[in-house]
Amino acid sequence: MTVVGPFGLTVRDQALEADVQAGLAAVEEGLFEATKSDVPFITGAAQHLVRAGGKRFRPLLVMLGAQFGDPHAPGVVPSAVVVELTHLATLYHDDVMDEADVRRGVPSANVNWTNSVAVLTGDFLFARASQILADLGPEAVRIQAEAFERLVTGQIMETAGPGEGRDPVQHYLDVIAGKTGSLIAVAGRFGALMSGADESAVSILTQYGERVGTAFQLADDVLDIASDSHESGKTPGTDLREGIPTLPVLHLRMRAASPEGTAEDRALCELLDGDLTDDARHAEALAGLRTHPALEQARRDTVRYADEARETLRPLPDCAAKAALSQLCDAVVHRAS
């Protein structure tokens, strides 16, 4: 039994362990190769987050999905590199929009250099991902393009906010499905598709990816409130400081506006509506949310999506990869515990 990846995923099958470890090592090599440039400055900026590490959740899902076909098929590793490069590119852009100082335990690219360099480096990574994708065929290009459209749409929806009369929680879950679920769904889909798995497996792993991806982001929402920077790799309460309405905050606001809302609920909302760039107010708001029932409600939502992801796996044949995918649901939830 071996632990694979920073999630603490334990693999009890030697053949699966070997395939996943070899695949992830090849992806790591591919990431460094894809981020090289003839211009040393670009190489340094493009490899900044690659060198910082990360969970490699998406490549791991590609490797597990490929087990339902031929895991050594030539398109498996490149497709995992494409998905991770796309994810990394969005992080450079996100840090500019969020004015973040820390990413994966290191200074964010916009702090290390400038906002312009961070945005352009993200664009560079998108370009390199597209070059690799072109060799995987028109269907892969279409899948990635559709997911990228959903990802950008989710980001725009988040920026615009819910429309008049729209349920803010449902709006937010739709945002997450686009921003995070879409690309993780592609990871599951590429793993199955590139390995030559049958259409049923491709469909199941796409649905699984969407649901576990949503659970993954909701766990991040909880971590943004509940963790310290050592656990999460970024500054606690970053979304809170920037006024981004994550799920715990949305649950708090709905509770405060309901007949069951208390004076304490409303006081905490007023604090959140104030200037959270002030360190003392920010710390007070974090402390209030950490002990509020809204945080536990967000944890329950995370568990619900993880359970739904696990349920989608039921039609797949029992095997070590299916067991690992099921365990991955538990690992995602554990992050929010």
User: How long a stretch of residues is the chain?
Assistant: 337
Boundaries of every domain in the chain? 2-335
Structure tokens at 276: 């959270």
For the segment 286-302, the average pLDDT, to the nearest whole number, is: 94
CA distances from 55 to 29, 63, 125, 136, 232 (A): 16, 14, 18, 25, 11
Cα 257 to Cα 260: distance, rounded to the nearest angstrom: 8
DSSP string covering 75-125? THHHHHHHHHHHHHHHHHHHHHHHT-SEETTEE-HHHHS-HHHHHHHHHHH
Residues 205-224: b if buried by 16+ CB within 10 A, e if exposed? bbbbbbbbbbbbbbbbbbbb
- Cβ–Cβ < 8 Å for 4, 323: no
Would you state the pLDDT for residue 3? 46
State the sign of the Cα–Cα–Cα–Cα dihedral 7, 8, 12, 15.
positive
Please state, in angstroms and rounded to a whole number, the distance separating the CA atoms of residues 65 and 82: 15
Residues of the chain above pLDDT 70, percent:
88
Residue 327 burial (C-beta neighbours within 10 Å; 0-12, 13-18, 19+): middle
User: Encoding tokens for residue 327?
Assistant: 């365990």
Return d(Cα 51, Cα 142) in angstroms, integer.
Answer: 30
pLDDT of residue 1: 40
Nearest to 239 by CA among 329, 179, 314: 179
CATH topology of domain 2-335: Farnesyl Diphosphate Synthase (1.10.600)
C-alpha to C-alpha distance for 124 and 111, rounded to whole angstroms: 18
φ, ψ (nearest 5 deg) of residue 102: -130, 140
195, 77 contact by CB (below 8 A): no
pLDDT tens per residue across span 244-266: 789 999 999 999 999 989 999 99
Band of residue 234 on the pLDDT scale cut at 50, 70, 90: low
Residues 109-154 pLDDT 10s:
676 667 888 889 889 999 999 999 999 999 999 999 999 999 999 9
Looking at residue 229, its pLDDT comes to: 54
| Alpha-carbon span 179 to 151, nearest angstrom | 4
The DSSP output letter for 3 is E
Cα angle, residue 64 at apex, residues 329 and 144 outer, rounded to 5°: 95
CA distance 163 to 234: 31
Q: What is the mean pLDDT of residues 82-98?
A: 84
**CA 22 – CA 330 distance, rounded (Å):** 24
- The answer to whether the beta carbons of residues 186 and 277 sit under 8 Å apart is no
Does this model's pTM top 0.85? My answer is yes
- Residue-wise pLDDT for 58-70, tens only, equals 999 999 999 999 9
